Structure 1
Amino acid sequence: MKELSKQVALGIDVGSVTTKVIFVDENDEIIEGLYIRTKGNPIDTIKAGMIEAYNVITSKFGDIEVIAVGTTGSGRQLAGVVVGADIIKNEISAHAYAAIHEVPDVSTIFEIGGQDSKIIFIRNGAVIDFAMNTVCAAGTGSFLDHQAERIGVDIEKFGDYSLRATNPVRIAGRCTVFAESDMIHKQQMGATSEDIIAGLSESLVRNYLNNLARGKELLPKFVFQGGVSENIGIVKAFENAVGSEVIVPKNNKLMGAWGVAMLAKREIEITGQKTNFKGFKVTELEHKTRVFYCDGCANNCEVYEVIENGETIAYWGDRCGKWSNRLTSRVRRTERADRRQSEEINSEK
């Protein structure tokens, strides 16, 4: 008798700097997770991540069946139409869901990624408020990577240097340009790398809280996630600033992908519908993207088009729906036909 395939849910979080691809099992545990550089090419990165994770999982468990797919992050729309997502969620929802799953009584979530940062306020297991900083890169992962390279310290050791500081210097952290200029000045004045890095960590946390948490009530428990939460110097600076323990969950870099995978799984369970996942063969298809401006009205919308093997499969970006609605009826008809065919085959069995 053939052994049943292991059922898994797929979560994809496409950020500007990194892409996260994870698979969760029936208990919502991550059985494989990848954290890879987007490198300006999200489609190829998604495909490579899916295949790599698939190979690892099948080597461990044999055949797998993907029963739900969710996408999130700044590239969630693109990822969703390419792989066939069941839900496409914003980062706030995905990160909050994973944090609540991991720390049920969490009240405040700090999240800092490669190019942006956000703070999420939770009360009684629900999001009540949030704020995002997408304008200034100060304190984000890409900025820290750049500073680590400039100082000559491996980014993995950045936090260790910070903890060894004896007299952290004060760094202007409101702007990446001012912060870097101030760091160079402190170096030229003779400050140690440890004191500069510790001062930078404190400055970036101070800037984060002043920008995103101004006028908000910060309550424990605090959870810190995203790539920058790997930096123990930043974690310590947060703890000093809020006067409380800051929890870094075990899957801190994968929380967005984890959250959206679990949300997709719940969606399928509630609706009882079959997943829209196109299968791993999608990695063999050719995908192209195109951007154009619609001159149909004064809005002059920037419209994005995704082309799969020569056929347009999605539009978005238009305000009136002139382009995005164009494929809706055809896609729905196809989905209904596919489901009817599947039901007929199953009934014959």
Structure 2
Amino acid sequence: MTDGQPPSPLPTQVEMVDLFAGPGGLDVAAHWLGISVTGIEWDADACATRAKAGLHTKQDDVRLSKPANYPEARILSGGPPCQTYTVAGHGTGRRALDQVLSFVDAIAQGDDITEDLAQLGDVRTGLVLEPLRWAVEAGAPYEAIVLEQVPAVLPVWGAFARVLEDRGYSVDYGILHTEDFGVPQTRRRAILIARRDGEAKLPKPTHRRYRKGQERGEGDQSLRPWKTMGEALGWSKQFTVVSNYGTGGNPKDRGQRLSTQPAFTVTGKVSRNRLIGRPEGKPDRFTDDEAGRLQTFPPDYPWSGRGIAQQIGNAIPPRLAAHVLAAAQGKELDVKIMDRCVKLSWRDTYNGVDGLLKDTLDH
């Protein structure tokens, strides 16, 4: 990254198109791996962050964009809006899941389902189908496709897999736990990887799974211990986080975690979590920058616009995204270099991180 705004690649030159790009979780990972990327995002606040970070962006509705606008793209990625599918939302997407699944074959056959999608009530519910439209309409098949969403969308990825396999892709999909990959946070994501050249495989865990009541040193000794909040934030003094959410919906039964554990899932309400035992004079809430670091964004990531906590909560952690993007290319990450990478400035990692990728998965 150079002084001022870095030179952005032209859309015809990018290697990867990121749909519903948000503030840049997948894009940051792509830059770490040396992949040129453009993101399509309609939200003005997320676009403000992307502009400050120097990420190439088309501010637009994904439904109005076409694969033909990005003829050189070899990777398609996307994290469609999750609000109607998440358990923290109203659940309209979960209730409409059977309808959404019924539309998959129609898209595969090239049918126009615009009027059918309008019947879903919440426009965000049908957006989960857009990556499949892109894959079907692409003049030349993408070398790789990477998709992420909340766990409730896994059946949709399964339906996508059948369509993509009929088109010559190898596909793997499943639920990944972020702490398994060195993210200092417990969070589950439904991930799909499709490849045209080689067998698609989800990345293998590099760190131990967090389990309540289990010590950090317990578990599979071939894996690294989970990352802690204190480690990620560089705080030596122990503190306690009291969750904004109450177990079973009871606000009096709020969960608690120590700084020697991973954070709760970082959502748009992360700033409501209360910190106990923080040094005197420091706020008793996570700042935006601290919440971003729990998501593994660079420590100096230039959050901008409004609703920054929501931007952070909606993003895929870049560290998880890097593992997934590497796997989509038949490679894996050097964990030691990844540990150093997430502590470096965005400016120092914008143009890629030497040695981060290892050629191992296809051999």
TM-score normalized with structure 1 length: 0.28
Greater strand content: 1
Structure with higher Rg: it is 1
As a proportion of its length, which structure holds more helix? 1
Q: TM-score when scaled to structure 2?
A: 0.27
